Amino acid sequence: MITFPNAKINIGLRITGNRQDGYHDIETIFYPVGLSDGLEFVISDQKAHKDILNVTGINTGTDPDDNLVIKTIKKLHERNAFPFLKIHLHKVIPVGAGLGGGSSDAACLLKTINRCFGLGITDNKLKSLALELGSDCPFFIDCTPSFASGKGEVLTPVKPVLNGYYLVIINPGVGINTTEAYQNCRTGLPSISLAQLIDYPVIEWKEKIINDFEEFAFKKHSVIGKIKEGLYRSDALFSLMSGSGSSVYGIFSEKPKLPQKLKDLVIWEGGI
C-alpha cells in the first residue's frame, strides 16, 4: 500500500494563552498543500517479531526506531490485532520546517492501517489517537482547511479560500526549536479571530494576519525574514512563516518570476 502524506501551511498563528498542562492555547488556520512524503508498507513474513521502518530522502536526524511512524504503529498494535509490517518512508517534507511532515506521516499511517486491516476505528477515535502523537496530528486525519484552536486539536472546517492561487514554499535550511520559540513569544487574545480574518480578500491579509513566532524567528535567523521580504518584492499577495518555522510561503495570483537566490531555496510550488 502506497500513500502520500501531505504537508500543511499555517495561515496565521496566534498564541492565545498558557495551559495548565504545560501546552499553549493557539488559533491558526491549517491548510493542506501539495508537498508530500511517500509512505509504503507491506506485510512482513510470518517469522517477523516487530515492525521495520526504512527511511530515505531527507535525513531526519533520528534513528528509525525513534521516528513518529514507528511510535504510531506501536500504539496501534497495543490496541488492535494486525500483522507486523515493513514500512518505507521517503521524506520530502523537511524536518522541523513548520509544515507538519511528521504528524502527517503518523496520521496517514493511522488511517491507512485502519482501512487496510478493517480495524473499524472511527474518525473521532483516530483523532484521539493522533492527538497522543502531536497537537497538529488530528488535522491530518481529514486534511481539509480548518480553523484550529485549543492546542490545535479543536478543528472547524473553513472554506478552501486559496483555490486558484499559486503557492511557493521556501525553506532556508535552518531549524527553529519549537520549545524555545514558545518560550520567547508573548500570549494574548487577538482583537479579531482568524476564523473571521480568513474571509477577508487575500490581498488584505498582509495587514491583518500574523504569526506570533515570526519576531523571534527573524531575530534568531535573519534569513527567514529576508525570504519573506523577497517574496513580497516578487509580488506575493501574502507571505508568512509557517508554524514555528522555518519555512516561509508566498501566495501569488500567478506563477511568479523569483530571483535566483529564492529559486534555489524553493521546496514546492504550484497551484492550490
pLDDT in tens, 81-123: 999 999 999 999 999 899 999 999 999 999 999 999 999 999 9
Q: Residue 123 catalytic?
A: no
Return residue ranges of the chain for CATH 3.30.230.10. Answer: 2-157
Annotated active-site residue in 37, 51, 136, 212:
136
Reported as a pLDDT band with limits 50, 70 and 90, residue 60 is: confident
Reported as a pLDDT band with limits 50, 70 and 90, residue 175 is: confident
CATH number of 166-271: 3.30.70.890
Return residue ranges of the chain for CATH 3.30.70.890. Answer: 166-271
Q: Express each pLDDT in 234-262 by its tens digit.
A: 999 999 999 999 999 999 999 999 999 99
pLDDT given for residue 108 in this prediction:
97
Give the pLDDT mean for 66-75: 94
Annotated active-site residue in 8, 127, 220, 228:
8
Q: Residue 136 catalytic?
A: yes
CA dihedral (101, 102, 104, 106) in degrees, to 10, reads 160
Which of the following CATH numbers is that of domain 2-157: 3.40.190.80, 3.30.230.10, 3.40.50.970, 2.60.40.10? 3.30.230.10
Please check the confidence at residue 62 and state whether its pLDDT lies above 90. Answer: no
Before 246, cis peptide (omega within 30)? yes
